[in-house]
Amino acid sequence: MEKIIELKQVFKDYAQAGSPQSVLHDINLEVFPGEFLAIVGPSGNGKSTLLNLITGIDYPTSGEVLVNGTRLQRLSNEQLTRWRGANVGIVFQFFQLLPTLNLLQNILLPMDFLGHLSKIQRKERAEHLLELVGLSPESKRLPSQISGGQQQRAAIARALANDPALIVADEPTGNLDAATAEVVFNLFAHLRDQGKTLVMVTHNEELAAAASRKLEIRSGRIHADILLNRYGGDLL
């Protein structure tokens, strides 16, 4: 099967007060379509850095990162932005919706950027995605006018806008209370059941248990890589 993510001998250093701090060491990783990979491990051990390499937000000090067949280091910043818009949907801990746009406009934005669909098709898709995440009645509201859980659902809808091959999430329930986290968590379970490829950093054990595979990062290395039951979490 085609790999959707491949990291080969990846190292990442950050310059700290003149001397390099090694954050990731010799990461070799293959992820296949339909996998739900939960990345776990203690704080400050390199999980977000790993995600940033997969999304091309950051680049490795050495080694190769291939995502959906593209070698990311070969792309210019402009190409990378366009590639990301078409291939990866990103969900952040703090939602990062644009505050001056309503929910419908926030979801339209990635589609407008890519310009693959007609204006009518884009609007229909945005409305469909808002319905999927249960936010149709709120479509005209600004992010500041809805709750954190609703904002995260809108951010998931935005991540799905261009039907990307890969959904990446960094602590998507990290800023939500337990009840709200559960709604977001059920949405990810739904995406998993639809065969979407999901890569997620999480400290939420319930969410990690719903994954098909758990990758534990410690001190910048892969400490454990465990295949879980395909439908490991008993969620829905």
Ligand X SMILES: Nc1ncnc2c1ncn2[C@@H]1O[C@H](COP(=O)(O)OP(=O)(O)OP(=O)(O)O)[C@@H](O)[C@H]1O
* Site membership for ligand X, residue 23 (CB under 6 A): yes
> Counting contacts by CB under 6 A, is residue 204 touching ligand X?
no
Asked if 44 interacts with ligand X (CB under 6 A), we say yes
- What is the number of other CB atoms lying within 10 angstroms of the CB of residue 162? 20
What's the CA gap between 55 and 72, in Å, rounded? 9
Binding flag, residue 233, ligand X (CB under 6 A): no
Should residue 47 be labelled a site residue for ligand X when binding is judged by CB under 6 A? yes
- Examine residue 20 and tell whether it contacts ligand X (CB under 6 A): no
Using CB under 6 A as the binding rule, whether residue 45 contacts ligand X is answered as yes
Of 38-46, 139-147, 149-157, 161-169: span binding ligand X (CB under 6 A): 38-46
Cβ 24 vs Cβ 51: under 8 Å: no
202 binding ligand X? (CB under 6 A): no
User: Does position 43 bind ligand X by CB under 6 A?
Assistant: yes
- Answer yes or no whether residue 94 interacts with ligand X by CB under 6 A: no
By DSSP bridging, strand 62-67 and strand 36-40 are unpaired
- Give least dist CB 47 to ligand X, A: 4
Question: How many chain residues are in contact with ligand X, going by CB under 6 A?
Answer: 9
Q: Which is nearer to ligand X, 46 or 110 (CB)?
A: 46
Contact call for residue 214 and ligand X (CB under 6 A): no
Give the interface segment with ligand X, choosing from 43-51, 67-75, 113-121, 204-212 (CB under 6 A): 43-51
Closest alpha carbon to 30 in 72, 55, 11, 2? 2
Q: Taking the CB of residue 125, how many other CB atoms lie within 10 A of it?
A: 19
- Contacts of residue 195, Cβ cutoff 8 Å, sequence gap at least 6: 33, 34
Of residues 87 and 93, the one with the C-beta less far from ligand X: 93
Handedness of CA 172, 178, 180, 185 (dihedral sign): positive
221 burial level (CB within 10 Å; 0-12, 13-18, 19+):
middle
Q: Which residues of this chain interact with ligand X, rule CB under 6 A?
A: 14, 23, 43-49
